[in-house]
Amino acid sequence: METAETFFPQPAVDAALVRLTPRKTIAFATFILYEMVNVFNCRSERHSLLKVGIFSNKWLILGVLGSLLLMVFAIQIPFTGAFFHTTPLTIHDWSVALATSIIIFVAVEIWKALNLWREKRRKDILQHAPNIQEIREQFHHLLNIRSTFQ
């Protein structure tokens, strides 16, 4: 008599693979959280999220919440976890994933602030710099003075 395993052999489960599953699940959650955080950074290339407004785009909020809900279902519910090869995460695991994914938000906000500062500084320098025509006139004036003494 033939069994289902004859036609569909079950793969051998390696103990190392079982130990890696929580780590892979944390990486999976981190990547998704990273993208959900980064989508808010992409709202403006120049201005901070606090200036643009976190809740000003209702469709974006709805999309992010839907994505987060699907991620939690894929990770925390055992039936879907078996399908996606994930394991439920602890609060500590979720906090590690969230803290790691927030790094991109902080880095981009610092980058935006530095760019705005540099742009403002460049405008100030250009505003206080003498006009190039004035520099040419002064140079020619100095050449004329020099030629009269020779």
> Which residues neighbour 48 within 8 Å (Cβ) at sequence distance 6 or greater?
109, 112, 113
Q: Work out how many domains the chain is built from and give that number.
A: 1
Helix 58-76 and helix 15-41, axial crossing angle in degrees, nearest 10: 170
pTM of the model: 0.65
100 within a domain of the structure (yes/no): yes
The pLDDT tens digits of the residues spanning 49-85 come to 778 888 888 999 999 999 999 999 999 998 888 888 8
What does the DSSP 8-state code read for residue 56? S
9 within a domain of the structure (yes/no): no
Tokens representing 95?
């906090």
The pLDDT tens digits of the residues spanning 36-56 come to 998 988 887 777 877 888 888
105 within a domain of the structure (yes/no): yes
